[in-house]
Amino acid sequence: MQRTFLLWISLLILTAVASIAGTTLYLRASMKERLIVSTTTSLYDTGLLDAVEAEFETEYSIDLNFISVGTGIAIQHAQRGDADLVLVHSPADELKFLTDGTGVNRKIIAYNFFAIVGPETDPATIGNTEPLQALSKIVESGRNGTAKWVSRGDNSGTNAKENILWAAAGFDWKTLSQESWYINAGSGMGETLKKADYFSAYTLADMGTYLKYNKDGLISLRVLVGQGKDLLNVYSAIAVNQTLHPSVNFDSALTFTKFLVSDEGQQIIEQYGKDAYGQSLFYPAARLLKVNTDPSIAHWIAECAFFNGTECPLEYRKGNSELYG
């Protein structure tokens, strides 16, 4: 009887300890602040944000939640107050986001390059040509029935860049989209690459996503036109204005932004992909702009992604002056 009694007491104590431990873990988890980040698919699909999240959440009691969509939809989420921060790569859309009063404290965090990728056979013979010449040759080959083009067609930053390039080459993308060789994917970068691969077509891709999908054996497309100012791809973090949307987690949004542009955050960006792909998928822009380690790239970023000579004009800064020191 005594042994049975002691056994029951022991079991009750163990149950109580387990319950207390479980409650403590639950309370700790529930005490974490939640930060909703609406982000472009290229940052998410490549796995970069997973690496950033792992380091960030070990240092801060903030639970990162990502919504992976194209830049246009990411900004729409923020305009409705459904996100606290956006990570996007379309300067023209970002400027509108600031001027409409929703976006504040824009900070450039990274860059890489777009590339025109296509089948190894290269039916339009665009290899090593300039981007605008390449697009002209693709149109000619498309109309001759020897080439196809797959567009994101999703109002993303990549889609916006594509349309800018078509216009610079002398074409109206809306007119082209009515032609049989021009295919609208209406999806993210990864799915667009797979569709282009399926059709042995050309497409515009960010290098980060292309390298991952190529390395993973998901596509056989080749980079035919890459690098250069015309193909520069700049990523920015922009917080949602708490004055306009009082419920947003503005403080945590700025904490995350500061982490991304810190030495630690920039190091994560710089190192991500090197081991697996032999090169970085993205490059740290904040560090480059601060210390001017590559004047040519810094000048390109300023030309392509600055507004009135700065990454964030004074009227769109809400405190946190140390971000721009």
Higher pLDDT, 322 or 22: 322
- Find, among 17, 222, 237, the residue nearest to 109 by Cα: 237
DSSP structure class, residue 203: E
- Rounded percentage of the chain residues whose pLDDT exceeds 90: 82
d(CA 267, CA 288): 12
Domains annotated on the chain, with CATH: 34-112+233-324 (3.40.190.10), 114-230 (3.40.190.10)
Report which residue type is found at 246.
P
pLDDT above 70 for 21? no
Phi, psi of 91 (to 5 degrees): -50, -40
- Find, among 272, 247, 262, 236, the residue nearest to 35 by Cα: 247
Report which residue type is found at 176.
L
Residue 103 pLDDT = 98
DSSP structure class, residue 189: H
CA 237 to chain centre: 9
Q: Are strands 232-240 and 103-118 parallel, antiparallel or unpaired?
A: antiparallel
47-87 residue pLDDT tens: 999 999 999 999 999 999 999 999 999 999 999 999 999 99
Both tokens of 283, joined, read: 């490059």
Which residues are CB-neighbours of 13 under 8 A, at least 6 positions away? Answer: none
- Name the 3-class secondary structure at 262: coil
Both tokens of 107, joined, read: 């900070």
Question: Band of the pLDDT at 12, cuts 50, 70, 90?
Answer: very low
CA distances from 25 to 15, 35, 78 (A): 15, 20, 31
- Rounded percentage of the chain residues whose pLDDT exceeds 70: 90
Q: Which single residue is written with the structure tokens 């982000």?
A: 39
- What separation, in Å, do the N-terminal and C-terminal C-alpha atoms of the chain show? 74
pTM: 0.86
196-212 residue pLDDT tens: 999 999 999 999 999 99
d(CA 216, CA 315): 44
**Could you give the residue ranges of the DSSP H alpha helices within the chain?**
2-31, 41-45, 48-59, 71-79, 91-99, 131-143, 157-168, 173-176, 189-198, 207-215, 250-261, 263-271, 274-277, 285-291, 295-305
Report which residue type is found at 81.
G
Phi, psi of 105 (to 5 degrees): 55, 50
d(CA 45, CA 37): 14
The half-sphere exposure of 205 on its side-chain side, counting CA atoms within 13 A, is: 35
Mean pLDDT, the chain, integer: 91
CA distances from 87 to 72, 167, 270 (A): 11, 26, 17
